[in-house]
Amino acid sequence: MSIERRLLLVNGPNLNLLGTREPDIYGTATLTDVERITTETAVEAGFAVRAVQSNHEGVLIDAIQAARADCIGIIINPGGLTHTSVVLRDALTGVGLPFAEVHISDVYAREEFRHHSFLHDVAAVRVIGRGVDGYADAVRELAALL
């Protein structure tokens, strides 16, 4: 598929544990479910999806930088890196692709440290607290901008 119709889906640290990690907060859907929901919604909107998950910041940055070659947008749930990573922000702004920031839980209803996002002011779309369905919402909202 050409560059005109591909999105990069990025899931950060600990999201590989979805389905078993704190199900009272994150639900029981798995990362595989998230990738399926995102891909199905993207296909309906005319996009392909390439998915990456890593617990390592550098791997995520490499994937974001590589997206310049064949993607027109990014959907990212940075996990805990949301609150700590200036370099992740720099990578996202550096590639110049519009991106959607997604959080499964309502970060503003949780611990104070989760209220700060290094991405909030540079994200084209923010979807917070809608569970894994938020990924589908992010695809739709980002697709509307593209």
Which residues carry a binding-site annotation for substrate? 77, 83, 90, 104-105, 114
From the candidates 103, 108, 115, 120, give the one annotated as an active-site residue.
103
CA neighbor of 25 nearest in space, from 134, 106, 138: 106
Q: How far apart are CA 132 and CA 68, in angstroms?
A: 26
* Active-site residue flag, 108: no
Q: How far apart are CA 89 and CA 109, in angstroms?
A: 23
* Active-site residue flag, 103: yes
From the candidates 26, 56, 108, 116, give the one annotated as an active-site residue.
26
Binding-site residue ranges? 77, 83, 90, 104-105, 114
Query: Please, what is the Cα angle at 128 between 127 and 131, to 5 degrees?
Result: 100
Q: Which residues contact 101 (CB under 8 A, 6 or more apart)?
A: 76, 77, 78, 82, 117, 119, 120, 123, 125, 126, 127, 128
- Name the residues annotated as catalytic: 26, 103
